[in-house]
Each structure stands twice: as structure tokens, then as C-alpha cells.
Amino acid sequence: MRELNALFRQSPVAMIFSDHELRIRRSNAAFRELTGQPDEVLIGRRPTETNWAGRMVDTGLIERTLAGQVISDGIPVVNMFLERNLPDGCRTFAWTAYRVTDNGQVLGAVSFLADITRPVREVTVLREANARLNLLHRAASEIGTTLDIHRTAEELAALVVPELADRAMVDLLDSFLEGEDPAVDPPDKLRFRRVAVRDTTTTDTVDFAVGDLITLETTVRPIAAFLRGEPVLARTRAELMQTGLPLSVLRAALDRGMHTAITVPLAARGVTLGLAVLGRGENPQPYSEADLRLVMDLAAQAAVSIDNARLYTREHDAAVTLQRSLLPRDIPQIAGLDIAYRYQPASRATEIGGDWFDVIPLDHGRVALVVGDVTGHGIRAAAMMGQLRTTLATLARLDCPPEEIMRQLSGVVAAHGEEAGATCLHALYDPQTQLCRLTSAGHPPPVLCNPDGTTELIDVTTGLLLGADGGPYPTSERRLAPGSILALYTDGLIERPEEDLAVGMSRLAGALAEGPAQSLDELCDSVLASLAPTQRDDVALLLARTSRLPGAVTVAGGGTRRCGRASRRAGRARRR
């Protein structure tokens, strides 16, 4: 008994002894101090009959555990966490209890109660800090994975739900999405376009869906703060109601169960692009200042990625416009040839390249069919492409030999520096003789589809890339039978990651095998649908089907002969 008295008297841990009927028979000073109750109130009463337990812990749980586990079965409780929401905040207690017996007789149970609110809060704060750091770390790799505005907004919403919000929305200024510069003097109302929504639940209480236009007055508190570049933190439902948002928006948020929200502007490089709204419904914790700082950091990172996408889109569109303006608008009609073409720019996932083609009528009914590809991407590649196309067309009309044209083009490319380069394939075709002279500067060989439907790659002796050293550029000759289809193309049509170009050429030959049975326009479309549904580079495709000229007769070796004076005039012209 002496030792027991010393234990109860000296223990710094709150202790009580309860008999087998759960009535308190003894308490120590630490317990009385913790509960604020004297022995007169505690002794002889069960936990549910005292005032302390109801205020601090779940008394029903304590009695059920003592009676059904500790005393009856002898199974102790060790550090069971008991939480209670009190006026001064949530408090956490650790409860330990074990059965006391004497020669097999159950005397009761000893319980220990410790207030661990402070260490639990410290651990919670540390975990939340680590979670915030982890979220920032993930943002670096999960936001801005593509140069697409809508995809980046969706990535921001996906990152914060459910870790930081139960619902997240991203709204961008409609003028920004239309490519307009920000107004110096903002209007009385701002128009936003909802571009991303992420929610932990499926709910019908949604104010605006993706794609909807939202018009808000600048006097509304979040919009006024938006114009100043400041966030808005609403910790409670009452503060949400004081934001001044339209009742329809507030009603949808409150019906969804939102009780706390954060609105942050998306701004980058001095331009405000839109705003992000985060709210909590299922999560009972209100947003804190630390949460606000985290959301602002995430929004700033997302805004830079969105602005990068905006700048890229603007440059991409400018490059496409320049590229298309430099390509031929109308293909001339050439006697003895039926011609079709397609130009398909790269998707927005990559920059525009410098692919090009041309059809150049020449003297005596001849024609130059050309395709080329400038290395690199963007406006510079498109500008060089235009320079090469203009130079080639000028030299061809001056009747320069193809090999000399290639040397001149190589000099033009070399003048742009060591990193510049280009490929080109020049096909000089004479419908009168059906002879085709092919000159290549590092370009993939053309594919020939014969009248019977068989296909083959034409063996062309290939010179060096334009810009390398200026030659030599040998010429190969091939006579094309009437009804043949000559296919000139750029490597974007046949190139795939980690695959040899020969495989792509074989696919192209197979796609052209149906050529004789189709119009050239249909054949162009079917080839692109088959080979380039998701191409990573620009594609230029030029198809030319040969036909016999009126008045021409076939000669030995597959050539043709013009009748009468027309044949003699053509011969004299070629000799000159």
C-alpha cells in the first residue's frame, strides 16, 4: 500500500483506478489537474457520471472498452488516441488502461490519460509542410507537360484535387484565349472562359462547365482583387457570402458543401491571364495562410506554363501563316500531267517545319516538280524555305541545269551558318519524251506507281545536303510510261520514332498501290490518312500522273514521237 500511495502521489502522468463496476476509486494530482475536477466529484462515479470526461473524451467509448475488453477479457489498451473538438480547438489525448487482479480476482483497471495535443499538432504541421513541398515538387513535372493552354489548366486542377481541394476551377480571360493583348483600362465587366474543372464527386450543383463564358463585374471582391493581382481567402461560409459573387454562383458552391475557398490570379511576365478557384466541402479544415501561399506558388508556376503555351501558339500560328503564304497557291495546268498535292503542318505539339513543294512550268512544255525540307523549325525555317523556293523557281525559269540549281541553293543555305541545312529533290519532266531527270540533295527517293499498280522506289544518285559543300549533284534519268504516278514527299510522311526510313518508304509504296484506281486527290487523302494521322513533322506530298500527249506516238524504249512539224520544232529547241 505504501508503494501504491507513492506511485499515485508522485506520478506525473494522470492516473485513476476504477473498480470492476467502472467506478473511480482513486485519482492522482496530475489527473485532477488535467480534468479540473476534485476527488469529491470523481470518487465513486463512473466516467459517464463525471463532468470531465464528457468535455474531453468520448465517455461512452471509454466505458465500452473498459467493460468489454480490459476488465472482462484482460486485453489492455495502449495509447488509444481520443480526439475532442473543444471551443479552443481540437484536443488529442492518449489513453492507456490495463486490468488489475489479485490471486485471480478482478479488482478493476488502472487508466492513464495524457494530453498530447501539442506534439500531435507539431507532427501534423510537419506533415502538412512536407505535403506542400511534395506538391510543389510534383508541380514541376506535372504542370506544363505540353505547350497547350487547356491541357496546362487541366494539369493544375488535377494536381490540387484532392490533396489541396475538393473542387478546383480554372477560368481564363476570353480576350487572352482569343489572342488579344490586355487592355490598358479594364472594362466594367470581365469575360472569363472556364477551361478546367476537377471535383472529388459527381454533382449536379455546378454553376459553369468547361467552355462556358462567365461575365463578372469588376466591383465583385474577387475580381477587384484579381485586377490588383491579389488573392482572396474566404475561411468560412459567411466570408464566402461576403465576396459579392452572383447568387447563382454562391448557391452552387454552398449546395456543393463549400465552406472555405481560395481565389488566386494567374499572372506571368506582367500579364494577368485568368484565375484559379479552390474550395473545400468534404475536407472540414478551413484554408490557412500557409495554404494560400502554397496555392499562389502553384498558380504562379502554372501561369508561366500557360503563358509559354500562349507565346508558342502565337509563334506557331505566325509560322504556319508564313509557311502557307510562301507555298504555291495554285498549281498550273501542265499538258501531259495530272497533279495533286497536300501540305499538312505539324500538330501544335511540335513547331512548324520548313517543308515545301513547287510545280514550275518551263519552256517547250517541260515542268520542274520540286519538294524540299529545311532543317529546324519555326519562323526561321519557314523564311529560309521561302528563300530557297524563290531562288529555285528563278533559276529553273532561266533554264539552269538542275545540278547547277542545287549548287546555287547549297550556297544560299551555307550563308545561313553551319547549323542550317536542307534537302531537295528536283524532277525535270518532259511530257513530249516522257523522260524524267531526277536530282537529289540528301532527299528521300521518289516512289513510282506503275500503270499496273506495282510500285517501286526510283534509284536516284543522291548528293550531299544543301549547305554542306556545294556538290556534286549527279542526275538520274527514268522514262515514265503513260498512266504512271510519280510521288514526291518529305520525310515527315514516312518517319516514325525508332524506325528505319526504309520501313516508312515501304508503307508509302503500299499506300500508293491503289493509285491507278483512284483520282489523285483521293489518293492524296488516303495516303495521308494511312501514313500521317499523328505525324510529328510537317508533310508535303506531290503526286503527278503521266498521260500521252495528243498527237504523240510511242517509240521503241517507251519514248514518244511527235508527228510532223511539231516534232521537228521540239527537236530544234532541245538542240539549242
More confident residue, 224 or 469: 224
Decide: residue 23, CB within 10 A, 0-12 exposed, 13-18 middle, 19+ buried.
Answer: middle
On the question of pLDDT at 95 being above 80, the answer is: yes
Q: Of the spans 173-182, 346-355, 377-386, 459-468, which averages the highest pLDDT?
A: 459-468
Q: Which residues contact 335 (CB under 8 A, 6 or more apart)?
A: 365, 431, 549
Domains delineated in the chain: 2-115 (3.30.450.20), 122-317 (3.30.450.40), 329-575 (3.60.40.10)
The neighbouring-strand residues paired with 97 are 77, 111
376-380: average pLDDT? 76
Of the listed ranges 15-24, 441-450, 469-478, the least confidently predicted one is 469-478
More confident residue, 28 or 419: 28
- Tell me what the pLDDT averaged over the chain comes to: 84
On the question of pLDDT at 275 being above 90, the answer is: yes
Backbone angles phi, psi at 356, to 5 degrees: -155, 165
Determine the residue type at 572: R
> What is the predicted pLDDT for the residue at 328?
74
Q: Of the spans 36-50, 75-89, 388-402, which averages the highest pLDDT?
A: 388-402
More confident residue, 147 or 291: 291
Peptide bond into 38 cis (omega under 30): no
- pLDDT category at 464 given cuts 50, 70, 90 is very high
> What is the predicted pLDDT for the residue at 569?
38
Of the listed ranges 104-118, 318-332, 334-348, 469-483, the least confidently predicted one is 318-332
Gap between the Cα atoms of 542 and 359, Å rounded: 9
DSSP E strands: which ranges in 66-166? 77-86, 89-102, 105-115
216-238: average pLDDT? 88
Own/partner long-range contacts of 150-158 (Cβ < 8 Å, ≥24 apart) = 150/195, 150/196, 152/302, 152/305, 152/306, 152/309, 153/195, 153/196, 153/302, 153/306, 154/195, 154/196, 154/198, 155/302, 156/196, 156/276, 156/298, 156/299, 156/302, 157/196, 157/197, 157/198, 157/276, 158/198
Give me the percent of the chain exceeding a pLDDT of 90.
47
On the question of pLDDT at 248 being above 90, the answer is: no
> What is the predicted pLDDT for the residue at 562?
34
Gap between the Cα atoms of 102 and 136, Å rounded: 59
pTM (two decimals): 0.57
> What is the predicted pLDDT for the residue at 204?
55
Q: Cell triple for residue 255?
A: 449546395
By residue count, the chain amounts to 576
The closest of 229, 236, 227, 232 to 277, measured between CA atoms, is: 232
Number of Cα atoms under 13 Å in the Cβ half of residue 174: 13
The closest of 51, 45, 48 to 24, measured between CA atoms, is: 45
Distances (CA, A) of 292 to 156, 207, 235, 295: 15, 23, 11, 5
> What is the predicted pLDDT for the residue at 397?
94
How far apart are the two ends of the chain, measured CA to CA in Å? Answer: 133
More confident residue, 417 or 372: 372
On the question of pLDDT at 280 being above 50, the answer is: yes
Residue 110, SS3 per DSSP: strand
What are the pLDDT digits (tens) for 294-323? Answer: 999 999 999 999 998 888 777 767 767 776
Gap between the Cα atoms of 275 and 40, Å rounded: 61
- pLDDT category at 71 given cuts 50, 70, 90 is very high
On the question of pLDDT at 563 being above 60, the answer is: no
Determine the residue type at 167: R
The closest of 275, 324, 345, 366 to 535, measured between CA atoms, is: 345
Distances (CA, A) of 252 to 139, 240, 247, 497: 29, 12, 8, 48
Q: Which residue has cell 500531435?
A: 120
Gap between the Cα atoms of 152 and 312, Å rounded: 13
> What is the predicted pLDDT for the residue at 183?
59
On the question of pLDDT at 356 being above 80, the answer is: yes
Give me the percent of the chain exceeding a pLDDT of 70.
88
> What is the predicted pLDDT for the residue at 388?
93
- Is residue 463 within 8 A of residue 440, CB to CB? The reply is yes
Angle between the N-to-C axes of helices 501-512 and 520-531, in degrees from 0 to 180, rounded to the nearest 10: 140
More confident residue, 372 or 126: 372
Decide: residue 477, CB within 10 A, 0-12 exposed, 13-18 middle, 19+ buried.
Answer: exposed
Q: Cell triple for residue 154?
A: 487541366
Distances (CA, A) of 251 to 95, 180, 206, 246: 43, 33, 10, 9
Q: Cell triple for residue 340?
A: 495533286
Q: Cell triple for residue 319?
A: 509560322
More confident residue, 48 or 516: 48
Q: Which residue has cell 485568368?
A: 274
On the question of pLDDT at 385 being above 90, the answer is: no
What are the pLDDT digits (tens) for 210-223? Answer: 999 988 888 888 88
On the question of pLDDT at 205 being above 70, the answer is: no
Q: Cell triple for residue 41?
A: 466529484
Determine what percent of the chain falls in helix, strand and coil, rounding each to the nearest 5: 40, 30, 30
Gap between the Cα atoms of 473 and 435, Å rounded: 19
What are the pLDDT digits (tens) for 148-187? Answer: 899 999 999 999 999 899 999 999 999 888 877 665 556 7
> What is the predicted pLDDT for the residue at 564?
34
What are the pLDDT digits (tens) for 98-125? Answer: 999 998 899 999 999 998 888 888 887 7
Distances (CA, A) of 473 to 61, 446, 506: 92, 16, 25
